[in-house]
């Protein structure tokens, strides 16, 4: 027992010191190991990588399955295609002849109703473009009719040039429903026709 490192000579002395209340131990804070973040990060990265692999693999399988279905459907219906009442393109020869007539007919039907709304001082919305009796609003920019110096359609955008302003206000034509009616209104209020 002489080899053990004890501050007491005997058990009796230890019992006597403990009964008297002497403090023989000191508590020190334990520092975390510098390897703790690594020990936590490695399993997390491995699990995350495995999950990513599973998602990628399942996505690839789903993509291949979808491609297989599309090819199967197209090859099985190519011979027995029944498109119902679908009008086929060859019936639309000479778009240059009937296109302007169709545009004029749509404008002739809708323009009187829009004029009546504007005369009643109600705004008329053409999607992102709103027309009133005193201005046109494009993308929350109100442009009085008297300030419009030019109107063009460039690369699929309606561009409105203001007098005294360097830049134009524009909106994609495909987002403007009844664009032909809007073009007729612009022509009536400004004398400028979108070109």
**Domain-by-domain residue ranges, the chain?**
35-68, 105-190
CA distance 142 to 136: 6
Give the pLDDT confidence score for residue 119 in this predicted structure. Answer: 92
* 105-190 to CATH, choices 1.10.1740, 2.30.29, 3.30.460, 2.60.120: 2.30.29
What are the tens digits of pLDDT across the range 58-74? 666 556 556 666 656 55
Q: What is the residue-averaged pLDDT of the chain? A: 75
What number is the average pLDDT over the span 186-194?
Answer: 78
Contact between 100 and 170 under an 8 Å Cβ cutoff? The reply is no
What are the tens digits of pLDDT across the range 156-183? 899 989 888 888 888 999 899 888 899 8
Beta strand pairing status for 168-172 and 148-154? unpaired
Which backbone phi and psi does 156 adopt, to 5 degrees?
85, 10
Give the pLDDT confidence score for residue 52 in this predicted structure. Answer: 66
Give, for 126, the enclosing helix (H) or strand (E): strand 124-126
Question: Is the model's pLDDT at 97 over the cut of 70?
Answer: yes
Instruction: List the beta bridge partners of residue 171.
Output: 158
Give the pLDDT confidence score for residue 70 in this predicted structure. Answer: 60
Question: What confidence tier does 89 reach under pLDDT thresholds 50, 70, 90?
Answer: very low
| DSSP type of residue 158 | E
CA distance 132 to 4: 100
Q: What is the pTM of this model?
A: 0.50
């Amino acid at each position: 027992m002489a080899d053990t490192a004890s501050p007491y000579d005997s058990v009796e002395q230890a019992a006597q010191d403990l009964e008297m209340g002497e403090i023989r131990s000191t508590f020190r804070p334990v520092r975390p190991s510098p390897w703790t973040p690594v020990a936590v990060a490695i399993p997390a990265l491995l699990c995350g990588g495995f999950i990513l692999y599973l998602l990628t693999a399942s996505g690839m399988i789903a993509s291949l399955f979808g491609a297989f279905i599309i090819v199967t459907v197209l090859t099985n219906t190519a011979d027995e295609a029944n498109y119902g009442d679908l009008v086929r393109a060859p019936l639309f020869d000479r778009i240059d002849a009937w296109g302007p007539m169709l545009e004029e007919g749509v404008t002739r039907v809708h323009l009187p109703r829009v004029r009546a709304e504007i005369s009643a001082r109600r705004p008329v919305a053409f999607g992102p473009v709103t027309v009133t009796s005193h201005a046109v609003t494009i993308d929350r920019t109100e442009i009085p009719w008297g300030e419009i110096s030019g109107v063009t359609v460039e690369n699929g955008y309606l561009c409105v040039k203001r007098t005294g302003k360097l830049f134009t206000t524009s909106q994609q034509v495909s987002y403007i429903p009844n664009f032909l009616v809007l073009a007729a209104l612009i022509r009536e209020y400004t004398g400028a026709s979108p070109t």
